[in-house]
Structure 1
């Protein structure tokens, strides 16, 4: 029986997100009361949008990856934990014994949470469940207990869904995606930190006056402030830092210019398909549960088309490489996941409301945290990779990744699962209390930003985390 379930799960996963989402959304639309033809068209449009988005992200990944490797070679970095990238992280996670149990468990858990009003997010992006399974898999190899691992994975899932709920107003009002939430731990984990940092920048003279965003860049720089020109300039600069010849520098510049233009258009196509599904969900819920909201949980890729995100991420590539070299505690060599920096800076930009300067400051702090987690959990990540038979690249003794090291909630749970280790347990308690307090603060700040703070919230005394207004 278990083998049949595993075969069915593997078949679904092997379809990939672009083929799986149209099927899931078609079924979802029919359940919500839409005609089959309308649901199928909407689902297929989403699949086409994701296909186009993935092609553009692939172009971005290939271009940044090669330039990053060249920059690393020029700096002569030699660190003992290799960043193998999120695709390897996903493959290792899905290969763990706990994955086949957690995929249906998380889906059923999501339905239960919705039924009892514990979340508003319906996560339809099953391919990216690996982000929710990864913490459970890591805890399984840390404790050798499948029960503890499943419990911790579901606790983490609950936390991530709540965080997705709380940040959904920013997804709607700042990124322009109503009815959508982003239940990805490796991105939403950073929202409380970046919102808190934004409050700090508000208090620093000079910094609090700097406002660089896509709109005022266009006004101040004319044609050179347009997204395509920003992509060209950043691409040319990155090619120069990589030591490329003139031909390769120009090619990289044009490729980055193309990314800046094509990504928003692919997201627009994706949203064309999502809109009827979102409307059907809204109508369905309003009829059966008056006053209740449901968000469709999607891949964080849907917001990476924002010009400020791409701009910030491209600037962060050389900065991340330099940070890897100068941070005294870091042991991870950034490599394959340098291409996922657009995902890493999502909440750096949202917290600053598009201010690229503040977004960069937020992103630098975030990456410093990533390097700390990668170094701290490198041995455990390597143990998990060995256990599933991952073939290590030549010369690599330990592995991790930027994406795999963005799970702040996982790090906290790993410190809390062993009370006998007093120093680590104490660190986990302090981190939990501080992080929880930041989340409550962030939740109310996002509400206040968009006029959603009710009287109960106001009486709680939360003043928010800085508006950058």
Structure 2
């Protein structure tokens, strides 16, 4: 556990360069080339997380102000994904799930049951979270570990299936996204997009940043769209004019910088992908392997950011009107790009369709987050999480996004 915790504490910006360096050398790269690739990937992740920090720092206070302005009073606090991650890493099944994840991935790769080599070790907390839900429901660590294993297998298969979208829509060749909170929704999103294909009028509407920019020039550029949407959120939050302008400019900066950080990341990954392809062609002719990464590498797509900025007030509205919802959206409003990524991916970057699908997804996310509130609260108490003053129950929009673990959890619940 101490070894695992040491690795996790390094964070992706340090852990990923080490992993890329080791893989590069194993795949036949010279040490200097592998080192450069690893450091470039680290710089790319550092840039991405800096921009995500800019997004979160600016949107979180605006979201809080909007909650106050809308007069929402719900009894389950959305404490955000970092808390669920911390709670998951505090559970006793962590070492077993890490070992199980590595073993399952190696076996599935060697037997051609998956093409995804998941090097996103930090986000193993997703698998642990799924197992923890079952463990605290059943009081059985064994059943929790089994649930984690099933989650891992499902997520790897979904990552394989959705890889063509990652390549064509997000421009990430050779990359897949074994990211539990996002990829689990991909089948539903693709199904809903096919339904929209058959609805007259709607199936003709295609709004995406490229077409907007081509038609409107500088006014249609992603950074300008970010400025407008950010200012609109500031106005809904009741900000003064200077704060509205500042939020708009910062959101424009996020829209401008995020794709550039992703390109830096890809600059480091491409040599590894090419070396991996050459290595496999020599050892195993015809075998293809995808590099499994954090979904953070694609959330900078202008359509994803545009849809998720629009979804912030819509999410608050849905939380207020949905009968039976108990979750007060708060911390994870700034993390909506992760929750709703595949609404845009399935619609191939169409903002209009992405928004429609996102509304449907958010209904499900809010209800799931409500349903797991009791077990989330139990998990938090078990690891001595310090509850915010006046908060009795916790959950998160991110927790409600883990559809694969939730399905497993509900199946197990039928017998307990």
TM-score range, shorter chain: over 0.9
Output one character per residue of 1:192-225: Cα deviation in whole Å (capped at 9) or x when no partner: 1111111221222221221111122113323211
Partner SS, residue 196 of structure 1: helix
Match of 2:18 in 1: 23
Match of 2:176 in 1: 181
User: Is 1:398 paired with 2:393?
Assistant: yes
Q: 1:102 to 1:225 in 2, by over 3 A?
A: same
Partner SS, residue 381 of structure 1: helix
CA positional deviation for 1:293: 0.7
Contact 1:42 1:276 in 2 (8 A): yes
Q: 1:206 to 1:288 in 2, by over 3 A?
A: same
Matched residues in 1 for 2:364 and 2:389: separation? 28
1:36 alignment partner, one of 21, 31, 38: 31
CA positional deviation for 1:227: 0.8
Output one character per residue of 1:111-159: Cα deviation in whole Å (capped at 9) or x when no partner: 1111111111111111111112110111111111111111111111000
Match of 1:339 in 2: 334
Contact 1:80 1:332 in 2 (8 A): yes
User: Is 1:51 paired with 2:46?
Assistant: yes
Match of 1:75 in 2: 70
CA positional deviation for 1:419: 4.5
CA positional deviation for 1:418: 4.3
Match of 1:7 in 2: 2
Partner SS, residue 5 of structure 2: helix
Matched residues in 1 for 2:413 and 2:61: separation? 41
User: Is 1:149 paired with 2:175?
Assistant: no
Matched residues in 2 for 1:341 and 1:169: separation? 23
Over the residues paired in the alignment, what is the CA RMSD in angstroms?
1.0
Matched residues in 2 for 1:212 and 1:58: separation? 28
- What is the correspondence of 1:245-256 to structure 2 with a 5 Å cutoff? 245-256=240-251
Partner SS, residue 122 of structure 1: strand
Equivalent pairs counted in the alignment come to 416
Match of 1:238 in 2: 233
Matched residues in 2 for 1:43 and 1:117: separation? 27
Matched residues in 2 for 1:420 and 1:294: separation? 38
2:124 alignment partner, one of 113, 121, 129: 129
Matched residues in 2 for 1:418 and 1:324: separation? 25
Match of 1:317 in 2: 312
Match of 1:424 in 2: none
Match of 1:372 in 2: 367
Partner SS, residue 77 of structure 2: strand
CA positional deviation for 1:274: 0.5
Partner SS, residue 82 of structure 1: strand
Match of 2:383 in 1: 388
Contact 2:62 2:234 in 1 (8 A): yes
TM normalised by structure 2 equals 0.98
Output one character per residue of 1:145-195: Cα deviation in whole Å (capped at 9) or x when no partner: 111111111111000000000101111111111110000110001111111
Unaligned segments of structure 1, at least 5 residues? 1-5, 422-469
- What is the correspondence of 1:62-101 to structure 2 with a 5 Å cutoff? 62-101=57-96
Matched residues in 2 for 1:360 and 1:86: separation? 22
Match of 1:205 in 2: 200
2:267 alignment partner, one of 272, 295, 301: 272
Match of 2:412 in 1: 417
Matched residues in 2 for 1:300 and 1:203: separation? 30
Matched residues in 1 for 2:154 and 2:69: separation? 42
Matched residues in 1 for 2:6 and 2:214: separation? 50
Partner SS, residue 288 of structure 2: coil
Matched residues in 2 for 1:32 and 1:187: separation? 30
Contact 2:137 2:413 in 1 (8 A): no
Unaligned segments of structure 2, at least 5 residues? none
Matched residues in 2 for 1:313 and 1:411: separation? 23
Matched residues in 1 for 2:196 and 2:113: separation? 34
Match of 2:156 in 1: 161
Output one character per residue of 1:20-75: Cα deviation in whole Å (capped at 9) or x when no partner: 00011101111111111111110010000100110000000111111111000001
Contact 1:99 1:137 in 2 (8 A): no
